[in-house]
Amino acid sequence: METLIELSKKMPKTELHLHIEGTFEPEQMFAIAQRNQVELKYNTVDALKAAYQFTNLQDFLDLYYQGMSVLLHEADFYDLTMAYLEKVHSENVVHVEIFFDPQGHLSRGVSFDVQIQGIYNALQDAEKKWGMTSKLIMSFLRHLSEESAFETLELAKPHLKWIYGIGLDSSEVGHPPEKFLRVFEACKNLGLKITAHAGEEGPPDYVWQAIEQIGVDRIDHGNRALEDDKLIEAIKQRNLTLTVCPLSNLKLCVVNDMKNHPIKNMLTLGLNATVNSDDPAYFGGYMNDNYASLINGTSISKEELFQLAKNGITGSWMEDHHKERHLKHLNALFE
């Protein structure tokens, strides 16, 4: 009998919540730092890895922004992205939707063109080599001002053919979605899809704002939506997908133990929960590790495993003919 772990490795998977800067493995970070002659605060890979003990989102973000500071040239963005794509291709991830944080690089003098060209070239090469499809999501840093988000949108305008969606990330508490109401309106008018981190640490009210005021097409995390029954109904009514990140939730103390992870509950409630890795280099695992953590930690059933993988395909922004192809493959594996 095939185990659920084996099945989870084999099945076609999508990644809908992934920060490319969060895939920076310490070994690669040191190699690029050396090549660019940038000093890191930590002297060795082991010292850096030892610092990966977080008690909340901000602890992690402080290290995440330090780590990305070695990215300067187009080749750095290409190498970072390609290393991630190679890794998840080996895990049967067939489609990725990748966030990047342009403001985290612009503030260091790295142009928008350099960032997007490096990332996009890697995505194109992955499609040519393996048929892996992708969408790129530009994310606004919510601890910065709406004005800064508007400036970033202006810089993005020559590249909109490569940008499919807009996200909202970084420090959640104190920076509600409504702070970015006007800039998201402008993004929507440009035909861009909208998603936002909401309910990771922030209260249910932030998820309400994301769906009612911003009109998001998807919700990233959404854990705290479960505190509000009316909100659960509103998410279901709009058929919104939640991009849930199990290992991230554990590492950032959003959950205290994997056995208490709410993803099973989300499925029982009829929410479109999906499995994603968020910042895998920092949180101890890529896509297959996230599934394994659920299988081992929450004892999800075969039906629930199927539902999670299916939600990942149906909740993605890939073209319909690709969805149909992957769903057929998934169904055949679970027959």
Ligand X SMILES: Nc1ncnc2[nH]cnc12
Residue 304 binds which of ligand X, Zn ion, none (CB < 5-8 A, kind-dependent)? none
Q: Is 278 in the site for Zn ion (CB under 5 A)?
A: yes
Q: For residues 152 and 144, is the Cβ–Cβ distance under 8 A?
A: no
Cα within 13 Å of Cα(273), Cβ side? 27
What is d(CA 86, CA 78) in angstroms, rounded to the nearest whole number?
A: 12
Distance in Å, CB of 95 to ligand X, minimum: 20
Residue showing the smallest CB distance to ligand X in the complex: 169
Residue placing its CB nearer to ligand X in the complex, 74 or 200:
200
- In the complex, what is the shortest distance from the CB of residue 322 to ligand X, in angstroms, rounded to a whole number? 26
Q: Which of 12, 15, 20, 22 binds ligand X (CB under 6 A)?
A: 22
149 part of the interface to ligand X, by CB under 6 A: no
CA distance 137 to 194: 9
Q: Residue 326, annotated ligand binder?
A: no
Provide the token pair at 306: 């199927």
Sketch the per residue contact string, 161 through 200, with ligand X: x for CB under 6 A, - otherwise: --------xx--------------------------x--x
Across the chain, the runs of DSSP E, i.e. the strands, are 13-19, 93-100, 133-141, 165-169, 193-198, 218-221, 241-244, 272-275
200 labelled catalytic:
yes
Q: Which does 76 bind (CB under 5 to 8 A by kind): ligand X, Zn ion, none?
A: none
Report the partner that residue 22 touches, choosing among Zn ion, ligand X, none (CB closer than 5 to 8 A by kind).
ligand X
Query: What is the rounded distance in angstroms from the CA atom of residue 247 to the CA atom of residue 290?
Result: 6
Give the number of other Cβ atoms within 10 Å of residue 246's Cβ: 27
Could you tell me the CA-to-CA distances from 235 to 93, 139, 216, 253 in Å, in that order? Answer: 26, 22, 10, 24
Instruction: Name the catalytic one among 200, 303, 304, 335.
Output: 200
Q: Tokens 């027959």 — which residue?
A: 335
25 binds Zn ion (CB under 5 A): no
Q: Does 320 show up as a binding residue in the annotation?
A: no
**Range 264-323, binding ligand X (CB under 6 A):** 278-279
Residue 102 binds ligand X, judged by CB under 6 A: no
> Distance of alpha carbon 68 from its chain centroid, rounded?
16
Supply the residues annotated as catalytic.
200
* Binding region for ligand X (CB under 6 A): 19, 22, 57, 64, 169-170, 197, 200, 248, 278-279
Extract the annotated binding site for substrate: 279
